[in-house]
Every structure is written in C-alpha cells, then in structure tokens.
Structure 1
Amino acid sequence: MQGTRYILSEYVEQAMAQALYDKLEDSTFSGRIPVCKGVVAFGTTLHQCEDELRSTLEDWILVGLKFGHTLPVIRGIDLNKEPTREPMDAL
C-alpha cells in the first residue's frame, strides 16, 4: 500500500538516521543514537553493528512504551501521545 504510514517504523528509521558509528582499536565497531539515551551496540563489522543497534533501539522503544517512559520526539514523531479511543458504537 503506497501512502500508508507506519509511525513506529518511521520513528525507528529517523532515529537510525541519527546513528553515530566509531571504529574501535580492535577493528570492531560501536554505534549509538545520541538522542536515545543508552542505545548503544557493538559489532565485528559495521553492518553487524548497525543491525545490533536497530535491535537495541526497537527493544528500548518497546520497554519505554511499556513502562511509560518519555521517549524523545524525533523529526516531529511523538510516541508519547495518549492513544485516542473511539466509542464502540462508532465502529
């Protein structure tokens, strides 16, 4: 479906676009997303590090949502909004 917007997927993509990577002394890689405090990953290759970082970010988001932590607004995407509920008769 073109035009369909998946807010969580877009949030992950926009956060990953802000990722910073470093090559370490042992030739492995570290990655972090500064706006998402504590989201850090390591890998033997840059690609593995990126995959690990994405997985860590996804887990971080799910834990944050579950426990009601305030997540950073990234490029206008705010996951902190209270869900809107429609009355049952509206369905």
Structure 2
Amino acid sequence: MEYMQAAVLTAFGSTEVFEFQTIPKPVPKATQVLVKVYATSINPIDYQTRRGDYKDLIRLPAIIAVDVSGVIEAIGEAVTHFQVGDEVY
C-alpha cells in the first residue's frame, strides 16, 4: 500500500483544526483520476468549510481543497480524455 501526506480537517473551527497525517493513497475508481498536487490555494469555500458552515455536508475527518493543480498520477479504467502525466488544474 502506498501512502501520502495530507492536511486533514479533524474538527470545525480555526486553522488549528488541521492535522498533518500520513494516509493511504487513494486508488481512482472507474471514472476518476488521481492528481499529485503541486499547488493549491485557499478560497472562500475552503475557509467556510473549515469553520463549519457546511458541517451537515462534510463528514470528518476530511481533506478539503477546491482549487488544485498538479499532474495526473493514475486513471480509472473508464477515463478516456486524460492520461498519466497530463498537467491539470
């Protein structure tokens, strides 16, 4: 099993609720891609989620990030428009 580092939202509140963890790397399902993230940003949805504005929609612990850029690392078997190595954002 492969692992990755992630900033995990463990509770709702201030920025201190994030915890850096080593977690299993996800395997993409049939129509999904796995992106190795090289850059991300914080936008209003991210901080609203962190403070608990959408707590009825988010199951903790959670990894949140709406805006990311990186390179596709793996693809599901039904993916046809992307390939491993494609740069995405």
Query: With structure 2 as the length reference, what TM-score do the two structures score?
Result: 0.24
Could you say which structure has the greater relative contact order, defined with CA pairs below 8 angstroms and 6 or more residues apart? 2
Structure with a larger share of its residues in helix: 1
Q: Which of structures 1 and 2 has the bigger CA Rg? A: 1
